[in-house]
């Protein structure tokens, strides 16, 4: 940003300058052939990006004209050297209107609108170009009222002024004001008619668009294309085809609009017939047909057509890349990405999304690093993908660096990137920065509020979640069904039973939200955790739909907490009917039997898993230390620092026992000696990760660990002791929620 006061200072300096020396070409010799040749050479250098060559020539010129300065000024502006342009402007002996307009446009393009307004106010003479720059620049930033202000100030308006103001209204969705401006005069050309018609189409007002189309004194091919594509986009292919057939002239865009319309409306055969009948095709036409096959997941046909294309552009490659990514075909997507002759920001973002959605966290981060090395511009989609990956693996340090890069890149924290930031901070267990990011968001949508509520809920901070919910209710954003799931989950994870019951039974009346299975699941979980198992079971019987496996799973989990093997067995049998491959439920029921000493029943579960081919998901935990993610499994013997970790755990175990810790051997699903059970519990993956964190993360900083499964009871109890003995905050994210261990207690209140 260039402070306006500097420009005002420059204007004051110019007003007190002495007359020019006689030898200066700006006062005499304006038509000096040598000066003219040098001016042309400066312009040529600047257009070719040879800024240094232009500067050397400018410095060597014995005589200069105002046009010389203007050539340098325009060159600096075109090459993105705004500070140099502003500095040179202050040195122009007698700037003319072109000088002012050039700097004005450069300021506007660089989003320095406040400086542009300051320079506009200082201009001694303004022309139509001046006003048009102010109109278009403010319109491009959504400042339509200011654009209209400069439009009204213009003493004379040309076609560019009128069309610019009309386009400003249309682009910003203010079509009625655009229509008012349109009706205020009659001398509109086809471009203006088409602009307003396009605005109506864009905002779904097809009847108004059709009324304009029918009134047009002279339609061109663009007019027909707008209407054909408009009807096609809204699914009215009958009217789109009728207009297509009636069009007196068609170009490649008319044909492509019909192909795209058929494709987007699932009419693949019709799309291919029109495509085959096209008299000429461009890359957009081919891309539309390839996309039609991709939409139907017909990747072989899409690839065949792609290989036939005589004219591929970067969008063609991106279409195939995105298709493979959406189909989960990562190898094919990477092959396309590696083969691309040219990549743009969309290509990188698509490949990042493919890796991120495919769970390839390491590949996502490596590709993002490579993207930076290649100097590629990082768009919002790319940032959102990598933030999501950082959230998945709790790579907080990497996520915070990305946050910094977002700010340095000049992105405002709007909803798209802002919501990804909130999710990243919450999933990494950093609630303070999540709240700060939320407060800094320039705009918030329902997803923003829902992310905050659900984030606090998963961390067991029900009070904070409900405070955010109360804040939301004071805004114009209406709570939806997802909001209420978060609210009920907050009550469940925090033991706020009566408050949760109140929200559940009043949400339809207060918020217009009808209870869905997700809301019932939260209620079953809430009642079950509170030990009100009979009420939870009765609620399931009274539901307007059949209970699903998630609901039975909530009841099974409550049966484990409150040691009710009979109800647990009943819930498990229902789950086995609905999801016979769900290994977690077999393990959970085995836990219930083992904790009750029913080893025969626990062994039956293991036999049943083997007979049904159900495999227990291995437990893994990971922790980020100095921007590197370390992964551990139970009894890990491959980590390079394993000996140091095990020695630390042995010492820690002795100190824990002195403090009163007793191993929860009833959690071990094997009928073996107590000593062996203790040994099996000691080296769970989450304990190894926490130990590694304590050894390598400086005191005062939290230990952040993720586990892919639910934390076991013994580890949960152990971490309470460890947090007190070591004086560390331990943040554990398991498959169900977050646990904050501090000073010998957990934020979940042992509700998990």
Q: Is 232 among the domain residues?
A: yes
Q: Is 63 among the domain residues?
A: no
Q: Is 694 among the domain residues?
A: yes
Final residue of a structural domain among 311, 326, 357:
311
Show the domain range for 246.
219-311
CB contact burial 592-629 (16+ within 10 A = b; e otherwise): bbbbeeeeebbbebeeebeeeebeeeebbbbbbbeeeb
Q: Is 244 among the domain residues?
A: yes
Distance, in Å, from the CA atom of 716 to the CA atom of 706, rounded to the nearest integer, reads 13
Q: Tell me, what's the pLDDT at 677? A: 45
Which distant-in-sequence residues (6+ apart) come within 8 Å of 207 by Cβ? none
Q: Tell me, what's the pLDDT at 143? A: 80
- Total number of domains constituting the chain: 2
Final residue of a structural domain among 272, 296, 311:
311
Neighbours of 93 (CB within 10 A): 16
- Report the SS3 class of residue 621: strand
Final residue of a structural domain among 311, 327, 358:
311
Q: Is 239 among the domain residues?
A: yes
Q: Does the global pTM surpass 0.85?
A: no
Neighbours of 469 (CB within 10 A): 22
Q: Is 708 among the domain residues?
A: yes
Distance, in Å, from the CA atom of 521 to the CA atom of 539, rounded to the nearest integer, reads 10
Would you say 713 and 667 are in contact if contact means Cβ atoms under 8 Å apart? Answer: yes
Q: How many helices (H) and strands (E) does the chain have?
A: 41, 6
Distance, in Å, from the CA atom of 141 to the CA atom of 125, rounded to the nearest integer, reads 25
Tell me which residue of 345, 350, 304 sits closest to 327, measured CA to CA. Answer: 350
Q: Tell me, what's the pLDDT at 409? A: 66
> Block means of pLDDT (10 residues each) for the chain, length 752 residues?
42 39 42 87 91 91 90 90 88 90 84 81 88 84 81 84 82 79 77 82 83 84 89 88 89 89 87 90 89 90 92 91 90 93 89 87 84 77 83 79 74 73 89 91 90 93 94 94 96 89 95 95 93 94 93 88 85 86 76 74 80 81 88 87 93 94 63 46 88 94 90 90 96 88 88 66
Distance, in Å, from the CA atom of 732 to the CA atom of 740, rounded to the nearest integer, reads 7
Q: Tell me, what's the pLDDT at 368? A: 86
Neighbours of 461 (CB within 10 A): 20
Q: Is 413 among the domain residues?
A: no
Residue 634 parent element (H or E) = none
Distance, in Å, from the CA atom of 494 to the CA atom of 529, rounded to the nearest integer, reads 10
Q: Tell me, what's the pLDDT at 15? A: 40
Query: CB burial class (10 A; 0-12, 13-18, 19+) of residue 489?
Result: buried
Q: Is 193 among the domain residues?
A: no
Q: Tell me, what's the pLDDT at 410? A: 59
Phi, psi of 743 (to 5 degrees): 60, 25
Q: Order of strands, edge to edge, in the sheet holding 620-625?
A: 628-633, 620-625, 703-707, 730-733, 738-742, 745-746
Residue 294's domain is classified under what CATH number? 1.25.40.10
Distance, in Å, from the CA atom of 610 to the CA atom of 421, rounded to the nearest integer, reads 43
């Amino acid at each position: 940003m260039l402070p306006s006061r500097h420009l005002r200072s420059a204007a004051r300096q110019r007003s007190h300058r002495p007359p020019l020396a006689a030898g200066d070409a700006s006062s005499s010799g304006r038509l000096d052939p040598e000066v003219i040749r040098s001016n042309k050479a400066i312009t040529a250098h600047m257009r070719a990006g040879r800024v240094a060559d232009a500067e050397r020539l400018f410095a060597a010129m014995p005589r200069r004209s105002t046009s010389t300065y203007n050539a340098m000024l325009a060159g600096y502006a075109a090459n993105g050297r705004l500070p140099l342009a502003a500095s040179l402007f202050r040195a122009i002996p007698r700037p003319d209107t072109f000088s002012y307009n050039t700097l004005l446009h450069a300021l506007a393009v660089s989003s320095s609108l406040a400086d542009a307004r300051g320079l506009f106010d200082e201009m001694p003479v303004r022309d139509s170009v001046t006003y048009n720059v102010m109109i278009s620049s403010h319109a491009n930033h959504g400042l339509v009222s200011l654009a209209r202000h400069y439009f009204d100030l213009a003493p004379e308006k040309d076609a560019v002024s009128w069309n610019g103001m009309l386009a400003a209204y249309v682009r910003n969705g203010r079509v009625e004001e655009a229509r008012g401006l349109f009706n205020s005069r009659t001398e509109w050309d086809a471009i203006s008619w088409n602009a307003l018609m396009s605005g109506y189409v864009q905002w779904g007002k097809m009847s108004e668009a059709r009324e304009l189309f029918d009134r047009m004194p002279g339609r061109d091919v663009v007019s027909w294309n707008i209407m054909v594509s408009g009807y096609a986009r809204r699914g009215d292919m009958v009217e789109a085809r009728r207009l297509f057939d009636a069009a007196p002239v068609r170009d490649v865009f008319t044909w492509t609009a019909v192909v795209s319309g058929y494709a987007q409306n699932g009419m693949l055969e019709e799309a291919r017939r029109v495509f085959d009948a096209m008299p000429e095709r461009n890359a957009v036409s081919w891309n539309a047909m390839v996309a039609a096959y991709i939409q139907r997941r017909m990747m072989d046909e899409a690839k065949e057509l792609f290989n036939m294309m005589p004219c591929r552009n970067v969008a063609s490659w991106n279409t195939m890349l995105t298709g493979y990514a959406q189909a989960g075909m990562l190898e094919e997507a990477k092959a396309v990405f590696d083969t691309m002759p040219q990549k743009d920001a969309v290509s990188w973002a698509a490949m990042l999304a493919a890796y991120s959605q495919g769970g390839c966290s390491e590949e996502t981060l490596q590709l993002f690093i490579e993207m930076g090395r290649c100097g590629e511009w990082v768009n919002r989609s790319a940032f959102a993908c990598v933030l999501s990956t950082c959230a998945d693996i709790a790579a907080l340090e990497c996520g915070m660096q990305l946050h910094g890069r977002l700010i340095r890149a000049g992105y405002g924290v709007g909803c798209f990137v802002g919501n990804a930031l909130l999710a990243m901070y919450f999933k990494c267990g950093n609630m303070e920065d999540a709240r700060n990011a939320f407060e800094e968001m320039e705009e918030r949508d329902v997803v923003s509020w829902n992310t905050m509520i659900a984030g606090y809920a998963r961390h067991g901070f029900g009070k904070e979640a409900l405070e955010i919910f109360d804040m939301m209710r004071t805004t114009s954003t209406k709570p939806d069904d997802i909001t209420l799931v978060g609210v009920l989950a907050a009550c469940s994870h925090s033991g706020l039973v009566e408050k949760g019951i109140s929200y559940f039974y009043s949400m339809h009346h207060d918020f217009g939200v009808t209870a869905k299975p997700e809301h019932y699941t939260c209620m079953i979980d809430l009642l079950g955790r509170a030990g009100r198992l009979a009420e939870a079971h009765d609620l399931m019987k009274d539901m307007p739909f059949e209970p699903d496996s998630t609901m039975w799973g909530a009841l099974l989990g409550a049966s484990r907490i409150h040691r009710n093997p009979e109800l647990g067995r009943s819930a498990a049998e229902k789950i086995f009917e609905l999801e016979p491959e769900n290994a977690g439920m077999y393990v959970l029921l085995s836990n219930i039997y083992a904790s009750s000493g029913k080893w025969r029943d626990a062994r039956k579960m293991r036999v049943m898993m083997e007979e049904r081919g159900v495999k227990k998901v291995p437990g893994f935990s990971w922790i980020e230390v100095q921007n590197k993610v370390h992964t551990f499994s139970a009894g890990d013997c491959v980590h390079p620092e394993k000996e140091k970790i095990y020695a630390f755990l042995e010492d820690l175990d002795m100190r824990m026992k002195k403090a009163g810790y007793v191993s929860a051997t009833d959690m071990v699903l094997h009928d073996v000696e107590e000593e062996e059970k203790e040994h099996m519990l000691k080296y769970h993956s989450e304990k190894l990760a926490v130990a590694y964190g304590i050894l390598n993360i400086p005191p005062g900083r939290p230990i952040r660990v993720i586990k892919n499964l639910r934390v076991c009871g013994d580890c949960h109890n152990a971490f309470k002791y460890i947090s007190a003995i070591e004086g560390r905050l331990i943040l554990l994210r398991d498959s169900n929620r977050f646990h904050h261990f501090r000073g010998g207690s957990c934020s979940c209140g042992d509700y998990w």
